[in-house]
Chain A
Amino acid sequence: MTWPTYSISAGQLRSAYLYGVLIDRANHILENYTPVVGGISPMSRKTTNSGSLVDYCKTIITPIASRFYLNIVYEIVGGGTATFSATYGATTITATGSSSSAATLSIGPFQGSGTPALLSVQYSRDSGDLTAYGALAVAEATTHGIASFPPHADALATGYPITAMQIREMMKSPIDCIKARVPALAWFASTERAAANTITPGGPIWITHAYQITNYDYNPSFKVSILAPTATTATLIGTGNQQSISPSDAAVIATSAAVTGSTLALEFSGPVQSYSVYEV
């Protein structure tokens, strides 16, 4: 989308014109601002011949407050059907696919809880060789994701002239949009079949220039949520401070906020099952 610059003249100060510009852009953002909020990539090391659902992996979803989908890229060679089952909170959704070439299967929607939470994925096939290349959890594309983004034209039309409160809502709504769809700057999920299996990431993981700071964030801060054994410590290092956390059990846990305006680094003292880095 291009962002033309308009000069405002008296003749253009009409509801239909201004609302049209604002609402068209707002709708466009909600239809296309679909950040990754978690993922499993790569999803499988090899093709699988499993005929029953396998507890394959768990990934941490950022504190998204809007709905999201899990997009799985897969193919099944030799004919047959693959079944994918994803569970987030109390919701389990199952979908099937039978593409013989790489294709995307979308599972959802799931309603984001607003806190970091696990999404687990299982899969099987009835015949053929299934390869699951990866899966990304992606915020829903919608024109109705945030009720206040922006005030609806019909509602505004009855409120002539536009009020200061409505202007405030329109100015605030892009921030709400970002906060409701918290992108993951980095993510990982174990590809092992057994839930207890982990890997030891090499470190540190440097996230440089990974995020263009919105200019209304004066002190941008970030957190990492991890699922790891109790002996593992995760440390998120910003330019302003660093924060560490060790999980006390198998629950998802987050560090306190690390502040940085540029570089962010992540280190682990031991193995992890999943992590997700996001702005708070």
Chain B
Amino acid sequence: MPIQDATSIYPAGLRSAYVDNPPDGLAVPIRAAHHVEILDRQRMVYRAYPEVQALTCGRFDGTTHGLFQAPPNAEAFSVRLVCAESEITADTTFTLTYNSTAKTKKIAMYTDQNSTPFYQVQIGPWQLASATTDAPALVLVSFAVDTGTPRIFGLYARFTISGA
């Protein structure tokens, strides 16, 4: 939207109302559309938060952690875990724990294999512990595996955002 100069932005439809009923304080000759657009752009800043946060990990000795930041207005999240197929040598159960709530996913050797050299495991969702969804919050997820020490190539946290 092109922004007009200070004289022409005086709202024609509201000018008479302003002239007829001058406000007590300082008047603002700003179009309602401009006002709305400013508010919309402010809202966009919140929308600029990534809904997915991707981490890449190395090889870990059985237990590790992922640290994410929940964006404002986040309600819940789930985690996608990517590991090497070649390093899953038996039926393997992955456990992710958030806020003392553990969730597990078992990979059955062979039957869950696909055409890529990676396993992808989706675990969750968890409701965020904090009732305050206005500000961002740190989210710590611990990870454990019952068989072997497969490399964890990536942890992806996807947050569910309420209307902002």
Contacts and interface: CB of A to CB of B under 8 A. Distances in A.
Interface of A: 1, 3, 8-11, 13-16, 18-19, 21-22, 25-26, 29, 31-36, 39, 41-43, 45-46, 71, 73, 102, 104, 133-136, 138, 141, 157, 160-164, 167-168, 170-171, 173-175, 177-178, 183-188, 190-192, 199, 201-203, 205, 207-212, 214-216, 275, 277
Contact of B84 (A11, A202, A209): A202
A22 B46 contact: no
A215 B45 CA distance: 11
Contacts, number: 222
B61 A73 contact: no
B113 interface: no
Given A15-B27, A161-B6, A207-B54, A35 B49 contact: yes
A45 B60 contact: yes
A25 B34 CA distance: 16
B51 interface: yes
A58 B25 CA distance: 55
Given A15-B26, A46-B61, A167-B30, A136 B138 contact: yes
B151 A202 contact: yes
A177 B43 CA distance: 12
Contacts of A188: 55-57
A259 to B, nearest CB: 18
Interface stretch (B63-71, B88-96, B102-110, B123-131): B63-71
Interface string B38-52: 110111111111111
A177 to B, nearest CB: 5
Closest 7 CB pairs of A and B: A134-B67, A202-B153, A10-B17, A186-B54, A15-B26, A188-B56, A41-B67
7 contacts: A41-B65, A41-B155, A162-B6, A175-B41, A205-B54, A210-B50, A211-B50
Given A34-B136, A171-B37, A186-B53, A161 B28 contact: yes
Nearest to B117: A202
Given A13-B18, A42-B66, 6 more contacts: A10-B14, A42-B65, A133-B67, A138-B136, A168-B3, A216-B44
A32 B82 contact: no
A18 B53 contact: no
Contacts of B59: 199
Contacts of A192: 58
A199 B58 contact: yes
Given A183-B48, A207-B54, A208-B52, A134 B23 contact: no
B39 A25 contact: yes
Contacts of A138: 69, 136
B19 to A, nearest CB: 10
A34 B70 CA distance: 10
Contacts of A136: 67-69, 138
Interface centre among B4, B27, B43, B155 (most CB of A within 10 A): B27
Contact of B6 (A43, A163, A214): A163
B134 A133 contact: no
Contacts of B18: 10, 13
Contacts of A214: 44, 47-48
Contact of A171 (B38, B56, B73): B38
B64 to A, nearest CB: 5
A174 B39 CA distance: 9
Nearest to A46: B61
A9 to B, nearest CB: 8
